[in-house]
C-alpha cells in the first residue's frame, strides 16, 4: 500500500493542485490528511472540494479547523492567523463547516498514528519542534509510525533505546524496532526556508517514507490573498518559505 500524506494546505489551491498532480504519478492507494486544510490562504472552498474528491481514509483536525469552528479560543492564535480564521469562517458554507466538523483529533490503527500536533494533549495542538518535544509523543505512541504536521517543517524524529535522532534525509527506511515521528511538512505554507510545497509518501511494503517537494506558481496564490484583503504578510511569506 502506498499512502499519500498531506498536511497544512492552508487554503492554497495552487500548491495543493501542484502536489496532487505530482502524486498522481506515484500510484497512491490511499490519502491521509493531517489537518489545516483551511486558514491563511484565499481558497478554502476550493481546497475543501479537492480534499473531498480524494476520499481520504483519514481526516485529522488542525488548529485552524478548530478555530473556524469555534472549538478553540481565538486567543491561541496570532493576530494574522486570527484575521485569516475570521475571514475563512465568513466565506465557508454550512455544508463546508459540517465537513470540517467530521475531522477527528487523533487516528490510530495497528500500524499508524496520525495527529496534527502532538499526542500530548492533542486538542491543545502542541508543536514538535525538537527532540525534547518529540520525546513526549514517543512515550504515548503505540505504533511504530506517527505522522504529524503543524510546524510546517518536514523532517523525521527516530526513537531507539531512549535516544532520539533527527533525520534530514528525503527518504527514510523504517526499522520495525524503532519509533518514528514524521512531519510531512506543509503544502500551502512551508516554513523551513524552502517555498516549494511539501508532502510525504509512505510505502508499507518497501517500508520507506519519502518527503517530496514540488514547485507551484506562488504569484497566483499571493495575488488571491491580496485581492481577498487578507494580511499582506500571508502573501509575502510564501515567497521565502517562512
Round to whole Å and give the CA distance between 229 and 99: 25
Task: Find the mean pLDDT for residues 2-9.
Answer: 98
pLDDT at 129 (0 to 100): 95
Task: Find the mean pLDDT for residues 143-152.
Answer: 97
Closest CA to 15 of 216, 230, 151, 185: 216
Pairing mode of beta strands 112-115, 145-148: parallel
Closest CA to 212 of 184, 241, 240, 172: 184
pLDDT digits (tens, 9 = 90+) for 22-52: 999 999 999 999 999 999 999 999 999 999 9
pLDDT at 5 (0 to 100): 98
Q: Which CATH class is domain 2-240?
A: alpha beta
Angle at 127 between CA 105 and CA 40, to 5 degrees: 75
Round to whole Å and give the CA distance between 81 and 33: 21
Q: What are the residue ranges spanned by the domains of the chain?
A: 2-240
| Residue with grid cell 505512541, as numbered in its chain | 141
The rounded Cα 148 to chain-centroid distance in angstroms is 7
pLDDT digits (tens, 9 = 90+) for 86-141: 999 999 999 999 999 999 999 999 999 999 999 999 999 999 999 999 999 999 99
pLDDT at 63 (0 to 100): 98
pLDDT at 161 (0 to 100): 79
Amino acid at each position: 500500500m502506498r499512502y499519500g500524506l498531506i498536511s497544512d494546505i492552508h487554503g492554497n489551491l495552487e500548491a495543493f493542485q501542484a502536489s496532487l498532480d505530482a502524486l498522481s504519478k506515484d500510484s497512491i492507494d490511499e490519502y491521509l490528511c493531517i489537518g489545516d486544510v483551511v486558514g491563511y490562504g484565499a481558497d478554502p472552498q476550493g481546497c475543501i472540494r479537492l480534499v473531498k474528491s480524494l476520499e481520504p481514509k483519514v481526516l485529522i483536525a488542525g488548529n485552524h479547523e478548530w478555530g473556524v469552528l469555534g472549538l478553540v479560543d481565538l486567543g491561541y492564535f496570532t493576530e494574522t492567523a486570527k484575521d485569516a480564521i475570521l475571514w475563512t469562517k465568513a466565506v465557508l458554507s454550512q455544508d463546508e463547516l459540517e465537513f470540517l466538523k467530521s475531522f477527528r483529533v487523533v487516528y490510530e490503527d495497528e500500524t499508524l498514528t496520525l495527529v496534527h500536533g502532538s499526542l500530548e494533549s492533542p486538542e491543545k495542538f502542541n508543536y514538535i519542534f525538537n527532540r525534547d518535544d518529540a520525546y513526549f509523543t514517543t512515550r504515548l505512541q503505540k505504533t511504530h509510525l506517527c505522522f504529524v504536521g503543524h510546524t510546517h517543517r518536514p523532517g523525521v524524529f527516530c526513537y531507539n533505546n531512549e535516544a532520539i535522532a533527527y533525520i534530514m534525509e528525503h527518504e527514510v527506511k523504517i526499522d520495525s524496532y524503532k519509533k518514528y515521528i514524521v512531519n510531512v511538512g506543509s503544502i500551502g505554507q512551508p516554513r523551513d526556508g524552502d517555498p516549494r510545497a511539501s508532502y510525504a509518501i509512505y510505502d508499507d511494503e518497501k517500508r520507506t517514507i519519502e518527503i517530496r517537494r514540488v514547485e507551484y506558481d506562488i504569484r497566483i496564490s499571493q495575488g488571491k490573498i491580496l485581492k481577498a484583503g487578507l494580511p499582506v504578510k500571508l502573501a509575502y511569506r510564501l515567497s521565502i518559505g517562512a
